[in-house]
């Protein structure tokens, strides 16, 4: 009898411990980056890595002659290495909270690792980012309407041969981080070209999720 009781307690503790462990694991942000596939060829990666290494070949001598310039080169080479890893598909563990930048292909890969919250997207759109100041105010004269964006992109924009092979998500992302790449007919390119430097991946995912919820006809 006593043993059964003890066993129950031990199992109980084991289960609770298991839950606590799972909870703790869920609470901790993942330290390891998401698994990725090389987005550039290994040969290419090695060639570029060798080119970067060459920029520091004379570092010792440069540092003796002009320490400032040598450290500057070291710093820039470090940044270039990070750029190379990102361009080849690396998604850092803190990707969701960094500025997304303007490389649409890279952003689309990273977007696969987060899920967008359309309600937060709507809050940002109408509030802090003031997208609505152009896309709502002015009744479609300053900028295309918010309502119907998804359907308009699918049926009208993507039918433009200039956007052949674009996906809806790709078009939306490009419209936000590179507003000048494709200027919607009958509008001028007044949309600020700064969102890539300020939006995080999560914010962009939220905005895209909000815009994807805007289906149906556009207002007249």
Closest distance of CB 89 from ligand HEC, Å: 26
State the Cα–Cα distance between residues 102 and 178, nearest whole angstrom. Answer: 6
Q: What distance in Å separates the CA atoms of residue 129 and residue 27, rounded to the nearest whole number?
A: 29
> What distance in Å separates the CA atoms of residue 168 and residue 107, rounded to the nearest whole number?
14
Q: Which is nearer to ligand HEC, 115 or 198 (CB)?
A: 198
Q: Which two tokens stand for residue 31?
A: 């330290």
CA distances to 85, 151, 164 from 160, rounded to whole Å, are 34, 14, 7
Asked if 176 interacts with ligand HEC (CB under 6 A), we say yes
- 90 vs 125 by CB, closer to ligand HEC: 125
Q: What is the smallest separation between the CB atom of 133 and ligand HEC, expressed in angstroms?
A: 6
Does the protein bind ligand HEC through residue 189 (CB under 6 A)?
Answer: yes
Per-residue binding string, ligand HEC, 130-149, x by CB under 6 A, is: xx-xxx-------xx----x
**170 near ligand HEC, judged by CB under 6 A:** no
Lookup result for tokens 């359309």? 118
Answer whether 144's CB lies under 8 Å from 157's CB. Answer: no
Token pair listed for 157: 């924009």
Decide: is 190 part of the binding site for ligand HEC (CB under 6 A).
Answer: yes
173 binds ligand HEC (CB under 6 A): no
| Of the residues 111, 195, 202, 209, which one makes contact with ligand HEC according to CB under 6 A | 195
CA–CA distance, 196 with 107 (Å, rounded to integer) = 10
Q: From the list 91, 96, 107, 191, which residue makes contact with ligand HEC (rule: CB under 6 A)?
A: 191
Q: Which long-range contacts (CB under 8 A, 24 or more apart) does 11-20 make?
A: none
Q: Which member of 96, 114, 207, 209 binds ligand HEC (CB under 6 A)?
A: 207
- The only residue of 154, 187, 193, 215 in contact with ligand HEC, by rule CB under 6 A: 187
Among 110, 209, 211, 214, binds ligand HEC (CB under 6 A): 211
169: Cβ–Cβ under 8 A, 6 or more apart, which residues? 108, 111, 208, 212
Residue 202 touching ligand HEC (CB under 6 A) = no
Residues 99/196, Cβ–Cβ less than 8 Å: yes
**Under rule CB under 6 A, residue 116 binds ligand HEC:** no
Q: Which residues of this protein are in contact with ligand HEC, per CB under 6 A?
A: 125, 129-131, 133-135, 143-144, 149, 152-153, 157, 172, 175-176, 179, 183-184, 187, 189-192, 195, 207, 211
């Amino acid at each position: 009898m006593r043993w059964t009781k003890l066993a129950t307690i031990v199992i109980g503790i084991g289960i609770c411990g298991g839950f606590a462990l799972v909870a703790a694991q869920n609470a901790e942000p993942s330290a390891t980056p998401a698994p990725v596939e090389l987005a550039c060829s290994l040969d290419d990666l090695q060639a570029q890595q060798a080119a970067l290494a060459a920029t520091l070949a004379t570092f010792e001598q440069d540092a003796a002659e002009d320490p400032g310039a040598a450290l500057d080169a070291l710093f820039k080479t470090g940044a270039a290495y990070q750029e190379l890893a990102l361009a080849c598909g690396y998604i850092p563990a803190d990707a969701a909270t960094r500025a997304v930048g303007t490389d649409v292909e890279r952003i689309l890969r990273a977007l696969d690792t987060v899920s967008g919250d359309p309600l937060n997207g709507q809050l940002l759109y109408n509030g802090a980012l003031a997208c609505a100041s152009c896309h709502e105010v002015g009744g479609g004269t300053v900028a295309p309407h918010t309502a119907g964006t998804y359907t308009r992109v699918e049926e009208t924009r993507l039918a433009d041969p200039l956007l052949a092979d674009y996906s809806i998500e790709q078009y939306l992302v490009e419209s936000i981080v590179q507003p000048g790449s494709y200027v919607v007919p009958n509008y001028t390119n007044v949309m600020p070209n700064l969102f890539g430097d300020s939006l995080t991946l999560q914010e962009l995912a939220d905005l895209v999720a909000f815009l994807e919820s805007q289906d149906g006809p556009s207002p007249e």
